[in-house]
């Protein structure tokens, strides 16, 4: 059964985008775009901070191995679906195995997951801009440097304006330059972390504690690792733009080598310094200096480009869902050829600003909790159990490999369990944080409103130059 809602190339901008870009991108495009989108480098130390050395390491091994295998399975399932007349998309892959129900499930999870990702990124970017503002004030010894103290809400509006412009990018091919910039920002931030630790001799001077692990924080850690390997929902669509679709497999392996090296260095080095005090965003543990200022700007650039990549997939999927609606006369009158360009820009802008609204509403929920929920609810489905479910159906159709079928079922059940438990623990954390503040919180105007390096809990206070006898309580 075919679930494409387009009757021909001329009836869909999405069809023309795919036809224009299939068989053009070399494999290294996939490596750059995937690495750039997947690398949440400043969030990775939190996984150990929340679960400790043993469980944190176990979660990293489990998540790396499981998602690497699921990426391979996605490639096989997509190739099989294409051979059977389906398209290069996650919904088409799931429809090949589960029919209309699979198609609806995949579309729902793609749209909801990347929509939630963008909400989290809006919160992240606004916080990074606050961190940059604080750094400028300290370095210039002026408060405020720009003559006005910008708060979280101001930064959120600025981020929304930038995201609206970049949301007009419509293909992964159009992202390759910006993906390279994003990856360069990630490499630079890893180097800044190493500089911060070396310049202040933090491995020797800090006195971290590695306790404080709870059941809730442990499940948040596992859910966050799912968030950090969240690129799988894009893989089939990226395959559609490869010059040789079979080159997906070596490109996937190369991407994972890059991810393992980057995550491994950043995560374990940071946790060795800050221990249980490691924040959901590790940059807020750093001393307020020029290096932190630079990293916060690089993070903001990375975040807005990450959001752009997400919007390419998300908005094209939404546009595909709207194809049938375009057949109605009153919709055609709005989206006719003369007005389609302006209408498309307006619709995309409106979509972006709904994300801004939700980011404003839940900004006080704690970014670690928000990202853990995105990982548990959304990325777990696209990365953990859906690829194994699709491959399970493929095995039942093509062979009698009962051992492999049983392994797929085990991973499906494990993914569903992670979704339930991780979603519960992250939502509990969000409710607890919101109860301390409120929805639509407007009080955040300084980094100290988020986390203070002068805290008594900071194991590096003396290394940062604070008086050991004078500290804040949190």
Higher per-residue pLDDT: 346 or 63: 63
Q: Are 376 and 422 in contact (CB under 8 A)?
A: yes
* Other beta carbons less than 10 A from residue 83's beta carbon: 9
pLDDT confidence of residue 472: 63
Mean pLDDT, range 213-232, rounded to an integer: 86
Q: Is 207 exposed, middle or buried (0-12, 13-18, 19+ CB in 10 A)?
A: exposed
Mean pLDDT, range 264-282, rounded to an integer: 93
Mean pLDDT, range 321-348, rounded to an integer: 58
Mean pLDDT, range 8-14, rounded to an integer: 37
Q: How confident is the model at residue 413 (pLDDT cuts 50, 70, 90)?
A: confident
- Secondary structure (DSSP) of 32-95: HHHHHHH--TTTTHHHHHHHHHHHHHHHHHHHHHHHHHHHHHHHHHHHHHHHTT--SSHHHHHH
pLDDT confidence of residue 12: 36
Q: Would you list the domain boundaries of the chain?
A: 27-442
Mean pLDDT, range 243-254, rounded to an integer: 91
Higher per-residue pLDDT: 66 or 24: 66
Peptide bond into 233 cis (omega under 30): no
Length of the chain: 474
Higher per-residue pLDDT: 449 or 18: 449
Quote the percentage of the chain above a pLDDT of 70: 85
Tell me the CATH architecture of domain 27-442: Up-down Bundle (1.20)
Q: b/e per residue, 448-470, with b = 16+ CB within 10 A?
A: ebbbbbebebbbbbebbebeeee
pLDDT confidence of residue 311: 84
Mean pLDDT, range 223-229, rounded to an integer: 87
Q: What is the pLDDT of residues 118-152, one digit of tens each?
A: 988 999 999 899 888 888 877 777 666 566 778 88
The C-alpha atoms of residue 194 and residue 202 are separated, in whole angstroms, by 10
The C-alpha atoms of residue 278 and residue 47 are separated, in whole angstroms, by 9
Is 80 exceeded by the pLDDT of residue 473? no
Higher per-residue pLDDT: 252 or 443: 252
Is 60 exceeded by the pLDDT of residue 237? yes
Mean pLDDT, range 385-395, rounded to an integer: 86
pLDDT confidence of residue 144: 63
Q: What is the pLDDT of residues 433-456, one digit of tens each?
A: 777 777 777 777 777 767 778 888
pLDDT confidence of residue 68: 94
pTM: 0.81
Is 80 exceeded by the pLDDT of residue 307? yes
The C-alpha atoms of residue 271 and residue 282 are separated, in whole angstroms, by 9
Lowest mean pLDDT among 56-70, 145-159, 201-215, 220-234: 145-159
* Other beta carbons less than 10 A from residue 73's beta carbon: 22
Is 80 exceeded by the pLDDT of residue 1? no
Q: Which of 216, 213, 232, 263 is nearest to 373 (CA)?
A: 216
Q: How confident is the model at residue 109 (pLDDT cuts 50, 70, 90)?
A: confident
Q: What is the pLDDT of residues 38-97, one digit of tens each?
A: 888 999 999 999 999 999 999 999 999 999 999 999 998 888 888 877 777 888 888 888
Lowest mean pLDDT among 59-68, 264-273, 333-342: 333-342
Q: b/e per residue, 262-281, with b = 16+ CB within 10 A?
A: bbeebbbbbbbbbbbbbbbb
Q: How confident is the model at residue 2 (pLDDT cuts 50, 70, 90)?
A: very low
pLDDT confidence of residue 6: 37
Mean pLDDT, range 398-426, rounded to an integer: 78
The CA R_g of the chain, rounded to the nearest whole Å, is 23
Q: What is the pLDDT of residues 162-195, one digit of tens each?
A: 999 888 877 767 677 888 898 999 999 999 999 9
Q: What is the mean pLDDT of the chain?
A: 81
pLDDT confidence of residue 432: 80
Q: Are 160 and 122 in contact (CB under 8 A)?
A: yes
Q: Are 309 and 238 in contact (CB under 8 A)?
A: no
Is 70 exceeded by the pLDDT of residue 400? no
Q: How confident is the model at residue 16 (pLDDT cuts 50, 70, 90)?
A: very low
Mean pLDDT, range 276-305, rounded to an integer: 91
**Sole residue written with tokens 């820009």:** 345
Is 50 exceeded by the pLDDT of residue 329? yes
pLDDT confidence of residue 418: 81
Q: How confident is the model at residue 159 (pLDDT cuts 50, 70, 90)?
A: very high
């Amino acid at each position: 059964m075919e679930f494409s809602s387009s009757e021909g190339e001329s009836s869909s901008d999405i069809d023309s985008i795919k036809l224009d870009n299939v068989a053009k991108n070399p494999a290294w495009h996939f490596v750059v775009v995937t690495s750039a989108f997947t690398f949440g480098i400043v969030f990775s130390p939190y996984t150990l901070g929340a679960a400790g050395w043993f469980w944190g390491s176990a979660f990293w091994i489990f998540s790396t191995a499981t998602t690497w295998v699921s990426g391979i399975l996605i490639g096989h399932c997509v190739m099989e679906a294409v051979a059977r007349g389906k398209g290069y998309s996650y919904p088409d892959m799931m429809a090949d195995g589960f029919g209309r129900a699979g198609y609806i499930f995949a579309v729902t999870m793609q749209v909801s997951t990347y929509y939630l990702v963008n909400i989290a990124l809006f919160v992240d970017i606004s916080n990074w801009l606050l961190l940059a503002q604080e750094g400028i004030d300290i370095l210039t010894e002026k408060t405020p440097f720009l003559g006005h103290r910008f708060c979280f809400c101001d930064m959120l509006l600025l981020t929304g304006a930038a995201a609206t412009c970049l949301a007009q990018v419509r293909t992964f091919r159009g992202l390759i330059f910006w993906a390279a910039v994003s990856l360069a920002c990630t490499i630079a931030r890893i180097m800044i972390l190493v500089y911060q630790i070396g310049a202040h001799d933090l491995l020797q001077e800090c006195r971290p504690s590695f306790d404080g692990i709870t059941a809730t924080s442990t499940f948040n850690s596992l859910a966050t690792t799912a968030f950090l390997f969240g690129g799988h929902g894009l893989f089939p669509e990226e395959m559609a733009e490869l010059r040789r679709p079979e080159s997906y497999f070596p490109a996937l392996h190369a991407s994972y080598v890059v991810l393992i090296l980057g995550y491994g260095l950043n995560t374990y080095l940071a946790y060795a310094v800050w221990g249980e005090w490691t924040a959901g965003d590790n940059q807020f543990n750093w001393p307020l200096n020029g290096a932190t200022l630079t990293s916060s700007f690089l993070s903001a650039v990375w975040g807005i480009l990450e959001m752009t990549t997400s919007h390419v997939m998300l908005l094209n999927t939404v546009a595909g869902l709207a194809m049938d609606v375009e057949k109605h006369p009153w919709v055609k009158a709005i989206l006719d050829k003369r007005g389609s360009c302006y209408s498309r820009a307006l619709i995309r802008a409106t979509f972006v600003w709904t994300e801004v609204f939700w980011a404003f509403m839940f900004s006080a929920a704690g970014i670690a909790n928000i990202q853990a929920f995105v990982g548990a609810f959304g990325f777990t489905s696209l990365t953990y159990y859906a690829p194994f479910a699709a491959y399970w159906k493929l095995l039942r159709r093509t062979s009698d490999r009962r051992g492999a079928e049983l392994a797929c079922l085990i991973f499906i059940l494990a993914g569903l369990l992670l979704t339930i438990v991780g979603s519960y623990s992250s939502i509990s954390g969000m409710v607890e944080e919101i109860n301390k503040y409120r929805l639509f919180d407007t009080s955040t105007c300084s980094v100290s409103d988020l986390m203070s390096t002068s805290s008594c809990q900071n194991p590096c206070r003396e290394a940062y130059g604070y008086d050991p006898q004078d500290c804040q309580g949190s």
